[in-house]
Chains A and B, each alone.
Chain A
C-alpha cells in the first residue's frame, strides 16, 4: 500500500476492488474476480481461478478430510491488512481447488469499521 500510495477507499465496495485488482496483482500476479455481493453490500467473494501458491501442491486425502485449507494464510493477510485500515473483517475460505472444487473462493465479510484511537486524557 505504501508502494502504490493510494488514497483511502470511499467505501467497502471500493475496498474489494482494490484488494482484487491491485493487492493480489502486486503480490501474487493474479487478479481474482469480485462477486457474490450480499444484500447489504457488506460481504463479497473473491474467486481465484489459479492460485500460484497451489501450483506445485497436492493434498493427501487425510488433509482433505481433516479440513485443511492450504492457502488460509491469504485469509489472514486480508484480515490483517484491513484491520490496519480500520476495518474489522472476517475472511474465510469457502472452496479450494486442492480439495476438488473447480475454483478457489474466499468470502470477506465486514464486521464493523473501527474507530481511530484517541489519546488518553490528562484529567
Chain B
C-alpha cells in the first residue's frame, strides 16, 4: 500500500512551481501539531505579503512591490480542486519549506555526483540519486534531462517510485505543461503551474497509484 504524502516540482531556476499534499495531516511531516501557528493551520493565510518580497530568479534580485507573483501553494481561496486540510499544521512557512526541501535534494545529489566523480557544472543526475529515508518518511527524487526536479514523499515501506516519477514527468508534465502553449517558459523567471487539467490528471494518477500498487 503506497501512501503518497506530498509532491514538489522545481524548475530549472530552483523555484518551486508546483506543490500538492494528499495525506499530510496524518503524515509524520506535521508531527508537531502543538506548534501550529495560524488558526486555519496555514501561516500567513494566502502568502501574498511574503511573495512580493522573495526572489524570482536565481540571482537573488527582488520583485518590485506591486507586481504580484502568482501563488504556487494551494490556498482555500484559490484552489478548488484541492484544499489544504486545516489539520495539516506546519512549523515553518511554505516557501521556506520548499527551499529546504530543494536544498536537501540538491545537496544530496551533488554529494552523490562528487563521490561518483561524475560531478560537473551542468548538473543532471549522473550519480543516480533516487531516494532517502528517515524513520518517518521516504523522499523520492527524479530529475528530467532538462533540469526539472520532481520530489515525492511517501511512507517508508515504498521501495522505489522511480517509474512513477518518470511517468509523471513523461505523461503528465510533458503532456499538460510543456505542450501547453499558454505556459510561459521564461528563460529567466519562473512561473507556477496553474493548470487545472494537470492538477486533475496528477491527482487521479496518484490516487490510482495509492490504491492499486503493492510494493513487495
Contacts and interface: CB of A to CB of B under 8 A. Distances in A.
Interface of A: 1-3, 5-6, 8, 83-86, 113-122
A115 B121 contact: yes
Interface stretch (B32-40, B71-79, B122-130, B196-204): B122-130
B194 to A, nearest CB: 21
Interface in B1-60: 12-14, 55, 58-60
B98 to A, nearest CB: 10
Contact of B146 (A6, A85, A119): A85
Contacts, number: 55
A49 to B, nearest CB: 29
B59 A120 contact: yes
A86 B144 contact: no
A118 to B, nearest CB: 7
A116 B121 contact: yes
Interface centre among B146, B169, B187 (most CB of A within 10 A): B146
Given A2-B169, A113-B122, A114-B122, A119 B106 contact: yes
Contacts of B124: 8, 116
Contact of A86 (B14, B123, B169): B123
A120 B122 contact: no
